[in-house]
Amino acid sequence: MPIITIEGPKVEDIQKKRDFVKEITKTTASYFNMPEESIIILIRENEPQNVSVGGRLIIDKNRK
């Protein structure tokens, strides 16, 4: 039942995503001492106009 939610920018490379969830699952199963089958991961890919760091939208980060 452990659930991992990942918030970040979009990653296009599916193979990279496959490897990522496999590794996160392994690490988490070991931490909780539970079977890998019980680990759920949700990836949320946020649009840069909907994320702000330090009061500034990501779409504006490269602006002067």
Using the rule CB under 8 A, is 14 a contact of its own copies?
yes
Residue 42, Ramachandran bin (φ over 0: left; ψ between -120 and 50: alpha; else beta): beta
Q: How far is the CB of 11 from its own copies (least distance, A)?
A: 7
Using the rule CB under 8 A, is 53 a contact of its own copies?
yes
φ, ψ for residue 62 (rounded to 5)? -95, 0
How far is Cα 22 from Cα 30, in angstroms, rounded to an integer? Answer: 12
- How many residues at the interface with its own copies, by CB under 8 A? 49
Positions that interact with its own copies (CB under 8 A): 1-9, 11, 14, 16-18, 20-28, 31-32, 34, 36-46, 49-60
